[in-house]
Structure 1
């Protein structure tokens, strides 16, 4: 299956606005931290101990998760990478030890920005891909940053996310509350197209419950925005909000004590950057960086 360059229902302008929205100064979303914690359990099966690793969008991905990763790899150099340099610098200030603590001066070096090509042994990207307007290009940028035999760890929303909310919106005749999320098998195909090898994909479903419609909507705002290209244009009024609150109350589950329930499908991915191979053709062009890696073999 050939993966599209852009999810067909995702509005790239809305995605760019969400990416540019400052996240500095806010705590990372609870669900993102929980997913990162579960993703870290998968590191127990990986023997490679990275000497350098990069955290892609650490504020939205999980600052608590970053601290746990630093404890797991205490001697590794760290790169904090964000689409906005100010976001990476803000994360650095939050994560940096106090000036009187020895770890600030004796710990591994922390840098902000995109790591040089082929330098990191692990790239950690938690809950990022589903909001990207160009996921294939993002995967390729991760591939460039990784060293040969380095590995990628990522997570994102899967297609069953918010299925209850999608049903409510459809029953009311409203546009979908979110764009369509990519299936994990398509992510596996896109990883191979980006140059990765041995992709391993799996998924799980997490159900969150809420006491009030207000708390449910607040949680969704922390997780992201509606990036569907067919979403409502302009602002909605109080009457619409009251109708939405009433509709959300229909999600109440007796087995959950009358609390409203929402499902989130979480996709986990792991892949390696293999040794470069020259393609056999009548005329073959090999980049200088690729030639150096081939000669080292």
Structure 2
């Protein structure tokens, strides 16, 4: 998510936190991916005053910018900051720089639509989440930018989202990856534009077109609005250490099997 649309990321983070108002969770460690200077920092500081916040920095964000924003939001949070890494590092390694069972909450705001393999992301979240932990996320669904599909003969090179999953696809994936009690929700947001240049800036930031093809080109009949399908979800990690499954077969560690004895009836 690039700078022209950063306000959207902040707005969706606020809505995600509102949806979590009914969730009871004591978090000692929180992973925010992608993290950025936004209003959510003050909310995290208030809701989880003793938690360490581990950050995977969004595109174009530096550690200094995030530290400055945390200082403004709540100076005490600087003393509880955890690890901070760049999103590029995660995308290259396909792995969080965190040990197994190390966080209680993964908070992911508008990321999954940019990942080639969301299931791998879910597996990494499962790996780092502790028993009783929670994953909360939002992403752009397949109806995002549907107005652009009507631009017949346009020089714009339209791009599909890397992960065009609707909320049912994601709900099924959560169950497959052993998350419990998934809750999915979706809403449409409509952005209205007075200038075509503003629309072009946003659809480039949302990665809906190949930006290399738009330089110096005037696009006729551009829409004056843009639809965003925003999908929300959260799910729990329950019974993490009871069994591991592969190819629909559950494998139970022998150490997890209790031994029952009975007295001799004679």
Q: TM-score range by the shorter chain?
A: 0.7 to 0.9
The one of 228, 248, 256 equivalent to 1:264 is 228
Match of 1:177 in 2: 158
Distance in 1, matches of 2:244 and 2:102, equals 23
Which residue in the other structure is 2:243 paired with? Answer: 278
Establish whether residue 89 from structure 1 lines up as the match of residue 63 from structure 2.
Answer: yes
Given candidates 195, 211, 214, the residue that maps to 2:197 is 214
Work out which of the residue numbers 172, 196, 200 in structure 1 matches 2:179.
196
Q: Provide structure 1 residue ranges, at least 5 long, that are not aligned to the other structure.
A: 1-17, 252-259
Indicate conservation of the 8 Å contact 1:139/1:194, yes or no. yes
User: Given the superposition, is the C-alpha separation of residues 194 and 83 from structure 1 closer, same or farther in structure 2, using an over 3 Å criterion?
Assistant: farther
Tell whether 2:139 aligns with 1:156: yes
Tell me if the contact between 1:28 and 1:63 (Cα under 8 Å) persists in the aligned partners: no
CA distance in 2, matches of 1:172, 1:151: 46
2: CA distance between counterparts of 1:280 and 1:65? 36
Distance 2:43 2:129 in 1: 21
CA shift, 1:278, in A, is 2.4
Higher helix share: 1
166 and 271 in structure 1: CA distance in 2 versus 1, 3 angstrom threshold: same
Between the aligned partners of 2:129 and 2:81, the Cα distance in structure 1 is: 18
The 8 Å contact of residues 5 and 206 in structure 2, kept in 1 or not, is answered as no
| Separation in structure 2 between the aligned mates of residue 110 and residue 147 of structure 1, nearest angstrom | 16
The two structures, once aligned, show a CA RMSD in angstroms of: 3.4
Does residue 108 (structure 1) correspond to residue 61 (structure 2)? The answer is no
- Show the counterpart of 2:89: none
Structure with more of its chain in strand, by fraction: 2
C-alpha spacing 1:166/1:156, structure 2 compared with 1 (3 Å): same
Partner deviation per Cα, 1:70-110 (whole Å, 9 max, x = no partner): 222122111112589x9573454333427xx96267x5343
Q: Distance in 2 between matches of 1:148 and 1:190?
A: 19
Gaps of 5+ in 2: 86-96, 259-266
Residue 160 of structure 1 and its aligned partner are, at CA, apart by 1.1
SS of equivalent residue, structure 2 residue 235: strand
TM-score, reference length from structure 2? 0.77
CA distance in structure 2 between the aligned counterparts of 1:280 and 1:57, rounded to whole angstroms: 29
Residues 124 and 162 (structure 1), Cα distance of their counterparts in 2 relative to 1, 3 Å cut: same
Structure 1 segments (4+ residues) deviating >4 Å: 173-176, 279-287
Distance change >3 Å, CA 76–CA 28, structure 1 → 2: farther
Give yes or no for contact 2:108–2:138 (8 Å, CA) kept in 1.
yes
Query: Alpha carbons of 1:102 and 1:137: their partners in 2 closer, same or farther (altered >3 Å)?
Result: closer
- Paired with 2:215 and 2:77, the residues of 1 have a C-alpha distance of 50
Residues 179 and 197 of structure 1: is their aligned pair in 2 closer, same or farther, counting only changes over 3 Å? same
Give the drift of 1:29: 0.8
Helix, strand or coil for the counterpart of 2:9? Answer: helix
Within the candidate set 63, 66, 69, 2:41 is matched to 66
Return the offset for 1:237. 6.1
- Go from structure 1 to structure 2 and tell me whether the alpha carbon gap of 1:177 and 1:268 turns closer, same or farther (over 3 Å shift): same
